[in-house]
Amino acid sequence: MPRPLRRLLIAAAAVVLLAPAVGLVYARPLLLTGTGYAAHNACAVAFVADRPAASAEDDLPGNPLVPYVRTTVSTETSTATTSILGALFRQTARYAEGRGCTLRAGSASSSAGADRPSAGGESAAGALPIAPTTDPGIRAAVDAAFGSDPAQAAALGTRAVVVVHQGRIVAERYADGFTPQTRQLGWSMAKSVTNLLVGRLVADERLSVREDHLRPEWTDDRASITVDDLLRMTAGLQWDETYDLGTPITEMLYLRDDMGGYAAGLPAVHPHGTYQQYSSGTTNALCGVLHDRTGLGPELADRLLFEPLGLAGRPTAPVWEPDGVGHLVCSSYLWATPRDWAAIGQFALQRGRWDGRDLLPADWMTYSTTNAGPNGPIAGEEDGYGAHWWVNRRADDSLVSPDMPADTYWASGHDGQRVMVVPSADLVVVRLGFTPTEADLGVDRLVGDLARRL
């Protein structure tokens, strides 16, 4: 749960406790956000990650509302329901086999499990071979990512680290209760995988980054928004990524069935292409374009990416959860094992070449990891952002993190999720965990150290 949301939940709790009647009315949107978050989390932990239902509490930061929150997980109905005091602000997340959990599911969710490739065999390594290193320095660097003592380990909350060099897993480690087969939520790392879905359609000449008139409701100034604008977060649509009363991000994730449609319906407040503002809504609006263009439902990522990479059709295949209309929540809800996250990073490192096939345009990753638009640097709020990938080299050629090689780029998700890609070192580093505090993850130093050693 993002830190601004935790602060607001504390404020909401104070209002409710001090003035119950008035407080409940005032805090209703935020309390629904809290129960929605908890219900979705409990459902996914139990049915997607296959962890004990009680461990869902491990992924919820503490706040004063916890004693009043009631969550029930039902294996009979494959649901998780959360409320305040067992009755108020009830939210239910429903699980569909192979498709994960959907909050406030609409009509599409009843068939959300359709067209999922059947489970087949699965090797120990998944898509990447394993060749453990004997270098004690590399082992020590990986161990450091888990903390040097119990207090630091608790603050870091690292759950998995996977190191891939020259296409082979050379080192990996997992926290207690987690294994190479445990799916973990990437949060906003899903945005970078969305970039790869777009690249697949561009390679097939079914989409162009310069294309506009992308959605039927965009008949005003929004009609000129391009795919490139959406990828670079320069669409100019009204947005607020902070978790507060009535902000678009909480409205979208916890109160709307059609998340992309909601975001696309917001007005433009900047001319497109002129201002960069990080927006989960922009990603979901883009994902709606992908669904419309392909005619595919929740199987979109399987068909375009996971099947070609050999990740689909396995017991622990990636699960990308849909919204209530059956569109993938491309901003946030992709679950994958650490090794599969590593395979996705390796696919990007190989510039879209996999098993002898070129699945992305030859220049796609160069385009995606360039921190500038077609007309040069872009004004805005983000430090080092390309086209749905974070990049170490700014538009002025300075580095976001001097600890890492200049050509490093990465997918980044809430609570410390990272897939780091270093082409010059032929290196991919995955770090997954639960780090809701301000703890220094040490990922930059880990990547820099590994790049020097390998």
Under 8 Å CB-to-CB from 85, ≥6 apart: which residues?
A: 68, 70
For 135-185, give the secondary structure using H, E and C.
CHHHHHHHHHCCCCCHHHHHHHCEEEEEEEECCEEEEEEECCCCCCCCCEE
Is residue 104 within 8 A of residue 318, CB to CB? The reply is no
Measured N-to-C along each axis, helices 28-47 and 248-255 cross at an angle, to the nearest 10 degrees, of 50
Ranges of the chain with pLDDT below 70: 1-27, 61-64, 104-125, 244-245
- Ranges of each domain in the chain: 3-104, 184-453
**Where do the H-state alpha helices sit in 350-404?**
364-368
pTM: 0.92
For residue 118, the model assigns a pLDDT of 47
The architecture that CATH gives domain 184-453 is 3-Layer(aba) Sandwich (3.40)
Pairing status of strand 409-413 against strand 319-320: unpaired
For residue 123, the model assigns a pLDDT of 45
Report the distance separating Cα 326 and Cα 378, nearest Å.
Answer: 34
